[in-house]
Amino acid sequence: METRGASKRKSPSESKLDGRAAKNTQFKKPCFRDTAELNKAVDSSDISAVVDILVNKGLKFPESTLNAALLRAVDGGKKQIVRLLLSHGACTDKESETACSVLLAAVEHKYLDIVKELVKKGVPVDIQNVAGKTPLMLAVEKSCCIALTSFLVNCADIDLKDNRGKTALMLAVEQWDCEVVQKLLSCGCDEDIKDNNGNTAFELAQKNGFAGLLNVLKESDTSGYPALYEAAKGNDLNLVRQLLQFYPSCVQDYPSIDSPLAHLMHGDDSEWDGQIHCSFEMMELLLKARVKLSDTHFVLGFTPLMYAAWAGSERATQILLQHGADVSERGPKDQTPLWMAASRGHASVVKVLIKAGAYTSCNDASGQSPLEVAIKAGSKACIQALLIDVYCISPSVIVLMREHEMLDALLDVKDIWQSVLPKNSIYSRNPQYLHMILFYAIQVKSYHLVKALINYGVDVNWCYTYGEDAFWGPDLGVDCGESACPLFSALNDNKMLQIMLDAEADVNIRHKSTGYTALMHAAAHGNLKHVRLLLECRADMYAESKGWTALSLACKRHNQEVVSALLDAGMDVNYLSLTKETALWHSLQCFSYEDSIIELLIRRGANVNFAYTTGVTVLEKAVKTCPANIVEVILKNGADVNTQDRDGNTALFHALGIGIHSYNITQKKEKASLLLQYGANVDHINLSMTTPLMVAVKDQDNNLVEVLLAREPVPILNAQDVAGDTALHIAVKHSAEDNLRTLVSLGADINIVNAVNRSPLMVAVKNLEVQMVKALLSLGADFSFQDLPDVRQVWQADLESLFKSAQDRPWRRHYMYHLDSEREYSVSFMDCMKHLLEAGCSLHHQLQNCKLDVFVGMCIVKEKYELVQLLLKSGVGPKTLDLTDCSQIFPINFIINSAAIGRNAVSPMYTAIFLGKTRAITLFTQACFYHQSDIKMLQHPRTKAMLQELVEDSLSEDPPPLEELCPENWSLRTWSKLAVLRAVGYGEGREHRVRALPIPQGLQDELLCKHISVDVVSPLSVTGISYGTYRSDSDSD
């Protein structure tokens, strides 16, 4: 028979026939002999003879003859001849009885290609024979191939009846062709049609015992699941057997649906409950029918073997493996059946899979092996089964076993440790690999495992050093602290420690990072029982690390029982460590608020007068670091209160604050009072010539000063240190005004000078301590220094330095110079000078005149009118200032405008007028404070206009009259006054010279500016004075 594709291609004979037919348009009438030759050629399948008869001879056969030949060709299955006859005029009447007979014959002979050719030619597919059978019914009855039946189902009326009322579905049920039944059901055939006996297809199937199969096929058509799955899901073995018998092709692949067996094991729910929903007999039956084992479920992607492994069904696993399931198949995330069984803790399944050849080191996508997931599942049986097939456990697996408390599983495979934990493997070639296991076993208190490891030959005297081996460290979760030694780790458990000691562990082994021995470790953790046990084992009591012994560590822990146990064992309480420290010294460093340890050590003979290498005694150490109750305990037990350290400091110095630690949490006053009560020398001088009073003043605590000054006799008040500073000097430097007044009230010399010839007042002025300057002046501090030329020279140098710093600093009102530090310096400097001038200090003795002239200019600019008044009274003269030397003082616009009119030197009056400082103008007018150049300047039209503008802008009801400022209107008295002032002069001795004049005292006072005052000057609020491009702001700083 030809292939399906051959029906669409023309043979060479057919092509030749078509060509000749095109040429021969004249046909001859055939005779009986020609008809016989045609039939003979058809019967013999001689296609060349058929072509010769139909084409070469040019014979025109009647349709009946061609139809008869066609029927003969169909009966013989001669497809090419059928096509030739059809193309030469056979079956011209498509609905004739002959055409129907030909189609029925093709179906009866199961010729799919001929049927397709006839149907394509137009022969009706629903024709019926004498019995009412359609080609489809005939195909069902003849059990034609499913391809032929499916072709007819797709193009025929599937619900037609024959003479008995049977439909194609009924005939298929009677024949019980499951495949055809399923095809008809899928095409929507009418199941409710009844035959002549009143039976439906279902009733016919029921009578024949096939009702269950029909229901299965119907459910399969409805659900879309394979018929085999629908039959097997109820675990009806007979139904499945019947389906496999009558529908053997039901086990074929379903490309769009998962494996029937996997689906049965999964169940109907979308989420699997972890149980196998299929009996073992059903599995056997399906597997014998050769259901594929590699197909997966569409939800989870599991194969049947994976379902069996995950569910932990040993029997199911064995059945699947017996039928050829692949033990190494991988599912989602690269998980194998062995991996799944291990993760669920199914030891029996794990053993079956390993026996079947499963690879135990097959990791999933995340890199986890079956052994690792078994450890996480906590299944010792699984771990044991897997370890038997594992060579050399890796360190990461050991860490994992420790984390999940599964180390005891190693005991179950102790007989194969030579392969599981070989001493010469890639890991255990380094002995620290086995040490890690021992270390972990001790940590988790696995006594039997520890004993087994020791018997296996693991060294109990091993100790870890950080960075020594790659197996240790944070990446593997290893604690690299002070317990990274088997013996030290065992100190947390009595039984474990006894095991270590029984294994002859070195009791004096040292931790490589801390240097501790086991005794030191036990003492540091306050474990009395272990301390006694180790002492019984002759542990070295005097072993130390960085100066710490077991005794000092016990003191640090404040454990009296451990301290007593060590001392009872014979340890020297005054043992001096390599760092030259005793246990009592160490106990003072522990910030303890309890005195029990101190008392215990002293009661047992500790030396209370011990001094450290720096000379600091026990008492001094206690004063610096301990509360007062500890200090009192040491004093009561005979400590020398006046012992000095190498700097000459006694305990009183430390109590008052010298070298005191920031963590001191006690009251200094309480400890100082306690030391004084026990006879501390309040006048002791250390090597830097400092007294306790100086230390107390420096601490700025007046309470401490009062405690010292309350002693009888009063401490030396005027003692000087190496810098010559007294307590007063120190009080000034630290702004301790209360201490300053207390000291002066008790008789301290307020004018004493230090090594650099500075008195307390000079120190305060130099540091611009305004409050201290004011306090010292109020207490009578001297500022003349008439008989002390060296002091006066220093005083003059300090003032000149201050004035120079003030002059060099930026005074202009500009955003760049609005700095807090500059403003603070300016205010402090002005205030200090004000207090000095108010006290009668004559700056003429200390400064050059140019300095005072500059200072006058500063006061005008800063609107310090009280200082201007004081300067006038002190005898400052109206000298001009060179603007080129004072560029930092005056506003830039003032300097530019003055230079524009040729005035590079300006007088105080000029400065006040052209800066718009009306108060200064009034003060200068009252004091007749005119420079010689002012006479011409005041008569200038520009000056008059400026003054007129100032008066008009003034808000005062009584502005100064312009006549007083104009030299043309000066009275004889004004000119005389001006002449006298010039004759007397300014500067030092001015008042003496004025008082010597034979004039009334009132006039003398007027010449000395005694009558002028800032308070009587009319306050003028000038909003703005325009002069060129300059605009001043009269708001004071």
pLDDT at 1020: 40
Following DSSP, what letter does each residue of 615-684 receive, concatenated?
S-BHHHHHHHHS-HHHHHHHHHTT--TT---TTS--HHHHHHTTT--TT--S-HHHHHHHHHHTT--TT-
pTM of the predicted model over 0.85:
no
Domain spans, the chain? 4-124, 848-1031
pLDDT at 619: 92
Please give the Cα distance from 470 to 480 (Å, whole number): 12
pLDDT at 571: 94
If we measure between CA atoms, which residue out of 898, 907, 916 comes closest to residue 936? 907
Q: Is 684 exposed, middle or buried (0-12, 13-18, 19+ CB in 10 A)?
A: middle
pLDDT at 122: 75
If we measure between CA atoms, which residue out of 292, 356, 260, 264 comes closest to residue 341? 356
Please give the Cα distance from 602 to 898 (Å, whole number): 85
pLDDT at 707: 86
Residue 932 contacts residue 981 (beta carbons within 8 Å) = no
Tokens for 259, please give them.
């494996």
pLDDT at 58: 64
Q: Which CATH architecture has domain 4-124?
A: Alpha Horseshoe (1.25)
pLDDT at 567: 94
Please give the Cα distance from 583 to 587 (Å, whole number): 6
pLDDT at 640: 94
Residue 438 contacts residue 450 (beta carbons within 8 Å) = yes
Instruction: Please name the residues in contact with 994: beta carbons below 8 A apart, sequence gap of 6 or more.
Output: 984, 1004, 1007, 1008
Residue 433 contacts residue 471 (beta carbons within 8 Å) = yes
Residue 498 contacts residue 453 (beta carbons within 8 Å) = no
The values of phi and psi at residue 710, to 5°, are -75, -10
Please give the Cα distance from 783 to 836 (Å, whole number): 8
Please give the Cα distance from 334 to 354 (Å, whole number): 18
Return averaged pLDDT per consecutive 10 residues of the chain, 1037 residues in all: 39 46 52 67 67 66 69 70 66 58 73 75 77 76 70 76 78 70 72 75 65 62 65 65 64 55 73 79 73 66 85 88 86 87 89 87 86 87 82 77 83 76 56 76 86 85 57 42 68 84 86 84 88 90 92 90 94 92 86 76 92 91 86 91 92 79 59 91 92 89 84 87 94 91 92 93 92 92 82 88 78 41 76 88 68 84 87 86 79 82 84 88 87 87 83 57 71 86 84 87 85 58 32 35
* Residue 850: alpha-carbon gap to chain centroid: 67
Residue 574 contacts residue 582 (beta carbons within 8 Å) = yes
Q: Could you count the other beta carbons within 10 Å of the beta carbon of residue 103?
A: 26
Please give the Cα distance from 520 to 549 (Å, whole number): 7
pLDDT at 1019: 41
pLDDT at 382: 87
- Identify the H or E element spanning 551: helix 550-557
- Identify the H or E element spanning 1030: strand 1030-1031
Please give the Cα distance from 666 to 625 (Å, whole number): 9
